[in-house]
Homo-oligomer: A and B are copies of this chain.
Amino acid sequence: MEIAHPYLLFLGDVPDALAAKTGLGIVDWRRDWCLGQYRLPGCKADAALDEMTPKEAAAAGVRTMVIGAVNAGGVLPEHWVASVVEALEAGLDVASGLHMRLGAIPAIREAAERTGRKLFDVRHSDERFATGKGTKRSGKRLLAVGTDCSVGKKYTALALETAMRARGFDADFRATGQTGIFISGRGVSLDAVVADFISGAAEWISPEADANHWDVIEGQGSLFHPSFAGVTLGLLHGSQPDAFVVCHEPTRKTMRGVSTPLPTIQQVIDMTIACGKLTNPDIRCVGICVNTAALDEAEARRVLEELSAEYGLPACDPVRFGADPVVDRLAEEFGAP
């Protein structure tokens, strides 16, 4: 799937910014793709974009309305349906990251058929994947792995893409989750793929490329997370990364959603190499990317210095302070562009 931009972000009438995390994430990374926001009365989220109706958006050149908000339960509330139909009738495609398919709602399915517009359910790939083969592909790959879920792997990969491009690298972010797909316009929500095809889908996400091209691949889960490690391992094998960074949130005590303690960064490095060398014997760690949002600046810089000294690796907060230390290491180890 390839979702056409510019976007109109639909934020519904959600009660807080957290419920519009997807929409706000798109604005963080693709501000220039977002021409406006469409909100219902009472909406408490604000992406600081121009307010537009679908009709106004279409006139301004918008191609797709992205449902950038969720309500509890992951279903589309009934009182949002009319807005989706309105967008289709204004000539926009509509894209959603909800668990339920847009086409499962008769009024939306019929409106899409009537108008000839496309519905994108980014959690559900219609692509038929092959099983993974493990064969070496040309091009270079960097994967963001983590000590846990939700530690900043997507933002790290996006910040690395930005920093690498600024330094002249030929680099593309590769999305493996719903928000990432909206940000890049393509990709696969790997957690929704049938288990037999995890590594095959990961191979599809990052196909053969020029020898000097870098895919910067969004990670998922953690090899040490008891709920999601299977997805993480399939992604690692299918990505066959030449390089990886370990993403970490230093105030986290237990793995997200479960009572399992957090692994150490060293455990993550060792396990990623032990497993990853199956499809890339030369896999190596090129940095530690820390989400320091919970720390003040002095503390954040101290943590980064300590980690860098302890592991002999560049350590940075790629969003707060930039990803250059990791890009330096990449250039040293794999050559500057």
Give me the interface of A with B, judged by CB distance under 8 Å. 131-135, 190-196, 198-200, 223-224, 226-235, 237-238, 257-260, 271, 274-275, 278-279
Residue of B nearest to A221 (CB): B196
Shortest beta-carbon distance from A103 to chain B in Å: 18
Q: How many angstroms from the CA of A133 to the CA of B226 in the assembled complex? A: 6
In the complex where A274-B274, A278-B260 touch, is A196 in contact with B134 (Cβ < 8 A)? no
In the complex where A274-B271, A278-B224 touch, is A230 in contact with B195 (Cβ < 8 A)? yes
In the bound complex, do residue B199 and residue A195 qualify as a contact, i.e. CB atoms below 8 Å apart? no
In the complex where A233-B233, A274-B271, A278-B260 touch, is A131 in contact with B228 (Cβ < 8 A)? yes
Shortest beta-carbon distance from A4 to chain B in Å: 27
Q: List 30 A-B contacts (CB under 8 A).
A: A132-B226, A132-B228, A134-B226, A134-B258, A134-B260, A135-B258, A135-B259, A191-B194, A192-B194, A192-B195, A195-B195, A195-B230, A195-B231, A196-B227, A196-B228, A198-B230, A199-B226, A199-B229, A200-B227, A224-B278, A226-B238, A229-B234, A229-B237, A229-B275, A230-B231, A230-B232, A231-B234, A233-B233, A260-B279, A271-B274
Partner of A195 from the list B133, B134, B193, B258 (CB cut-off 8 Å) is B193
Shortest beta-carbon distance from A220 to chain B in Å: 9
Q: How many angstroms from the CA of A47 to the CA of B247 in the assembled complex? A: 55
In the complex where A195-B194, A198-B195 touch, is A227 in contact with B274 (Cβ < 8 A)? no
Chain B residues lying within 8 Å of A260, measured Cβ to Cβ, are: 134, 278-279
In the complex where A194-B193, A195-B193, A195-B195 touch, is A229 in contact with B233 (Cβ < 8 A)? yes
Q: How many angstroms from the CA of A281 to the CA of B271 in the assembled complex? A: 16
Residue of B nearest to A263 (CB): B278
Residue of B nearest to A200 (CB): B227
Partner of A190 from the list B192, B193, B195, B199 (CB cut-off 8 Å) is B195
Shortest beta-carbon distance from A100 to chain B in Å: 13
Closest 8 CB pairs of A and B: A134-B226, A230-B234, A191-B196, A230-B230, A198-B230, A131-B227, A132-B227, A233-B233
Shortest beta-carbon distance from A6 to chain B in Å: 31
Shortest beta-carbon distance from A51 to chain B in Å: 35
Q: How many angstroms from the CA of A294 to the CA of B233 in the assembled complex? A: 32
Q: How many angstroms from the CA of A46 to the CA of B252 in the assembled complex? A: 60
Shortest beta-carbon distance from A273 to chain B in Å: 12
In the bound complex, do residue A237 and residue B226 qualify as a contact, i.e. CB atoms below 8 Å apart? yes
In the complex where A135-B259, A258-B133 touch, is A230 in contact with B278 (Cβ < 8 A)? no
